[in-house]
């Protein structure tokens, strides 16, 4: 993979790791980072040897939001036409499951970046929030859409309208994160979860993610139709036959991703 200036990548087994690395700005999302993140994720997504991606930051910050210093001088036209955050829309559409392993601050665009992933695993040091209104703007990367779907309208409204930061245990209680772990265990826990996902059949995992995404983007009736058709399509896979034979024969399945 290419050398990046704002992040590091690594492959361990079938898991692709992306570590945001702008410590001087608490991993604030500037245009270079956003471009590099989309490019790194697209490269993992195109690689059949990768079955899960883990996105993480540092102990102090997953990402403290969009880069305010870069954004400050931009115009309404820059945002609407040039849209420096467009690569994050590509990131949110990768087929491969993405686990956000969050320690420290995940604020504004950083919280929205975590919500663009499929699973959010939080260290007990994690802090989430949508503080945009305190800067005179509103969330622009999904905070007004994904947060209400994740935690319900009234809790999301409180967080977006006040800009209040919440800690990891509150984030778990309201359903934003799937699990809170001691900070020292975050990456090990993320690796265990990612390795379990990556061991499954790749086309099955892609299909499961696509159907889950449909639940967020379509009506329930359309989503149920999509699920039924996708479920039937799984019976064309060698891995469906292997998974069920392995159950009958009381052994672990040997998936070939076919």
Q: Which residues make up the interface to ligand DAK (CB under 6 A)?
A: 25-26, 28, 64-69, 79, 83, 85, 105, 107-109, 131-132, 135, 140-141
Q: Which of 65, 104, 109, 143 is catalytic?
A: 109
Minimum distance of ligand DAK from residue 72's CB (angstroms)? 9
Question: Could you tell me the CA-to-CA distances from 86 to 10, 110, 139, 140 in Å, in that order?
Answer: 24, 15, 14, 11
Q: Which of 66, 100, 116, 214 is catalytic?
A: 66
Does the active-site annotation cover 132? Answer: yes
Between 46 and 161, whose beta carbon lies closer to ligand DAK? 161
Minimum distance of ligand DAK from residue 105's CB (angstroms)? 4
Does the active-site annotation cover 112? Answer: yes
Minimum distance of ligand DAK from residue 132's CB (angstroms)? 5
Minimum distance of ligand DAK from residue 223's CB (angstroms)? 26
Question: Could you tell me the CA-to-CA distances from 213 to 67, 106, 128, 195 in Å, in that order?
Answer: 28, 22, 22, 21
Between 120 and 198, whose beta carbon lies closer to ligand DAK? 120
Between 85 and 91, whose beta carbon lies closer to ligand DAK? 85
Between 113 and 198, whose beta carbon lies closer to ligand DAK? 113
Q: Which of 40, 129, 132, 156 is catalytic?
A: 132
Active site residue ranges: 66, 109, 112, 132
């Amino acid at each position: 993979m290419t050398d990046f200036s704002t992040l590091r990548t690594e492959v361990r087994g079938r898991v692709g790791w992306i570590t945001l690395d702008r410590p001087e700005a608490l991993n604030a999302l500037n245009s270079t980072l956003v471009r590099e993140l989309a490019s790194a994720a697209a490269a993992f997504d195109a690689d059949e040897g990768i079955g899960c991606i883990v996105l993480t930051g540092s102990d102090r910050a997953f990402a403290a939001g969009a880069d305010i210093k870069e954004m400050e001088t931009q115009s309404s036209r820059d945002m609407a036409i040039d849209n420096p955050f467009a690569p994050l829309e590509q990131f949110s559409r990768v087929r491969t499951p993405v686990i956000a392993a969050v320690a420290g601050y995940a604020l504004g665009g950083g919280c929205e970046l975590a919500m663009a992933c499929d699973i959010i695993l939080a260290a007990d040091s994690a802090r989430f929030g949508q503080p945009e209104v305190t800067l005179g703007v509103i969330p622009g990367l999904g905070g007004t859409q994904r947060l209400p779907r994740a935690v319900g309208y009234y809790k999301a409204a409180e967080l977006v309208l006040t800009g209040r930061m919440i800690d990891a245990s509150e984030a778990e209680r309201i359903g934003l994160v799937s699990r809170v772990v001691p900070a020292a265990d975050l990456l090990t826990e993320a690796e265990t979860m990612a390795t379990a996902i990556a061991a499954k059949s790749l086309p099955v995992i892609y299909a499961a993610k696509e159907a889950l995404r449909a639940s967020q983007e379509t009506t329930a009736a359309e989503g149920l139709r999509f699920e039924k058709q996708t479920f039937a399509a799984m019976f064309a896979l060698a891995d469906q036959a292997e998974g069920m034979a392995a159950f009958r024969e009381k052994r672990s399945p040997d998936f070939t991703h076919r």
